[in-house]
Amino acid sequence: MDYYRLEYDLETHPSIKLLRLKHAPLIISFLHQQFKQTQRITIFQGELTEKLEDYLELLHETTPGLFPRPAQEYLDQWCNEHQFLRKYYIPESDEPVFELSPSAEKALGWLEELRHTDFVGTESRFRRIFDLLEEMATRGTEDVAARLAYLENQKAALEQEIETIRRTGVVERFSAQQIRERFFEANETFRRLLADFRQVEQNFREITRQVQQQQLQSDMRKGAVVEQVLEADEELRQSDQGRSFYAFWQFLTHAQRQEVLQSYLDIIYQLPEIEPLSDQHHSLRRLKRSLLVAGDKIIQSNQHLAEQLRRMLDEQYVAENRRVSELINGIKRLALTTVAEPPADRAFIELDDAPNLGLPLERPLWEPSSTPTFESRDLDLGAVDLSPADLSYLYSRAYVDETRLRRQIATLLLRQASVSLGRLTQDYPIQQGLPEVITYFMIAAGSDKHSIDEQTQEQVLLFNGSNGELAAGQVRQLTLPQIIFRR
């Protein structure tokens, strides 16, 4: 909290400027009503303008002439001058949309906290702090004895609770106060999470803006631009915020977890302690949908970065081709001017090195690949032991769930256009050895979108536990043709 830094922030930060504006009650009440109460992320310009016109007309009934300017001018001022709103176009629409800026989200969130001070859930918040500290202490250490002691204590407590329920037939539940306290805390945490998404999305847009600025630098080589953009994108993904967001997204997009989450919400809103509060505090009912929409919007922003990079490279490629064409035409014009009077010196062109010629007839002819053949022989049963003990290895192999593998591929393709098998196994290590690798090959070969590049090779690691033949701590590396999965 430096004095000069605070002085600068209080004068320039958009969140503080919003609270200090003369028309702050109009701006805050209208934006909160349209975005927060309805839990909407984006609103089309026509709809938002119409809503503001109705709101201004309602205020004019009590205080005539209070806000004389047209609604569209207010929206443009809030967007361009004050940066409380962000205005942009979405695909397949000619009408712009508005969304709250991160600064407006912070200001609205602070005022919401200011108004909700009649009930402070000290018990639930302390338990939450205690649970977080316990989780860090037990799962942040590599002490085997400490982890086993913690798990044994949990096991003993669970067994004791199970035995008590079986003996008495009574389930100990939270009191009405404890249920309401945790319900309010869940609502507040959900509200803050949605507000934080705007800041995460802003970080992705900053990378896109850097791409545009670098594109305008004429002396910037294409390779340097690509390197900087990829490094910036990877840095964001590997940051604490990036890792946390993509871990959240992977957890949220899991179909089974979505079903469990929805079942929890259905049970909670049927509790007698919550039913009187459901009309006023109904945001958690749309928790799954709101998080999916907000998270998908961030994923789309990240994909826009890749699209921006591709468009930039295409434009530079066209410019380079145009430049090469101009040079060739210039050489032709010079050649035409010297046809009548060729230079006297025979060596009028000098090359630094011997030219590298590639003649078409030097290319080898195509040869068909060899087809494997199999010989048929009679089986000598006398030399083979077909006892059940010898065949147990065959029928004891684990079943490879192809649906699970396809779901893992789809999860990574949500945040990037393509992914290789090597990159996929970094997030989802091989669990069932070679059968799982072969299943990935079957998925790639069965779709036109995916491809198998036999000319390029990549390495896939098999750790202990992914193959029954691997000893503890052993790692096996497989060199395979590169598999590329695409959307």
Q: What is the DSSP string of 232-258?
A: HHHHHHHSHHHHHHHHHHHHHT-HHHH
Which tokens is 417 given?
């256009």
Q: How many CB atoms lie within 10 A of CB 282?
A: 12
Please indicate, yes or no, whether the overall pTM of this predicted structure exceeds 0.75. Answer: no
Is residue 103 within 8 Å of residue 15, measured between CB atoms?
yes
User: What is the spatial distance between Cα 248 and Cα 106, in angstroms, rounded to a whole number?
Assistant: 22
127 — pLDDT class (breaks 50, 70, 90): confident
pLDDT score of 136 more than 50: yes
Mean pLDDT of 329-356: 76
The helix (H) or strand (E) run that includes residue 480 is strand 476-486
pLDDT recorded at residue 469? 47
Pairing of strands 418-420, 97-100: unpaired
Is residue 398 within 8 Å of residue 432, measured between CB atoms?
yes
User: What is the spatial distance between Cα 269 and Cα 282, in angstroms, rounded to a whole number?
Assistant: 9
For 132-136, the CB contacts below 8 A with 24+ separation are none
The helix (H) or strand (E) run that includes residue 420 is strand 418-420
pLDDT tens digits, residue range 223-242?
Answer: 666 666 566 556 556 666 66
User: What is the spatial distance between Cα 176 and Cα 172, in angstroms, rounded to a whole number?
Assistant: 13
pLDDT tens digits, residue range 430-442?
Answer: 877 788 888 888 8
- Specify the 3-state DSSP secondary structure of 323: helix
pLDDT tens digits, residue range 441-476?
Answer: 888 888 878 888 888 888 888 765 554 444 545 677
- Stretch among 99-103, 190-194, 429-433 having the lowest mean pLDDT: 190-194
As beta bridge partners, residue 461 has 477
210 — pLDDT class (breaks 50, 70, 90): low
Work out the mean pLDDT of the chain and round it to a whole number.
76
Q: What is the DSSP string of 73-106?
A: HHHHIIIIIS-SEEEE--TT-SS-EEEE-HHHHH
> Higher model confidence: residue 162 or residue 283?
162
User: What is the spatial distance between Cα 482 and Cα 487, in angstroms, rounded to a whole number?
Assistant: 17
Is residue 118 within 8 Å of residue 181, measured between CB atoms?
no
pLDDT recorded at residue 67? 86
pLDDT recorded at residue 467? 47
85 by Cβ neighbours in 10 Å (0-12 / 13-18 / 19+) ranks as: buried
pLDDT tens digits, residue range 285-315?
Answer: 777 777 777 777 777 766 666 666 666 666 6
- Stretch among 11-15, 61-65, 75-79, 397-401 having the lowest mean pLDDT: 397-401
Q: Report, in angstroms and rounded to the nearest whole number, the Rg of the chain calculated over CA atoms.
A: 32
pLDDT above 90: percentage of residues in the chain: 2
48 — pLDDT class (breaks 50, 70, 90): very high
pLDDT recorded at residue 248? 76
Which tokens is 221 given?
């080589």
- Which is nearest to 409 in space by CA: 331, 483, 324? 483
The DSSP 8-state label assigned to residue 276 in this structure reads G
pLDDT tens digits, residue range 237-246?
Answer: 666 666 777 7
Q: In the block, which residue shows the tokens 């990079």?
A: 309
> Higher model confidence: residue 354 or residue 323?
323
User: What is the spatial distance between Cα 161 and Cα 171, in angstroms, rounded to a whole number?
Assistant: 9
pLDDT recorded at residue 374? 62
Q: In the block, which residue shows the tokens 């090195």?
A: 353
Max mean pLDDT among 114-118, 179-183, 299-303 falls in 179-183
pLDDT recorded at residue 449? 83
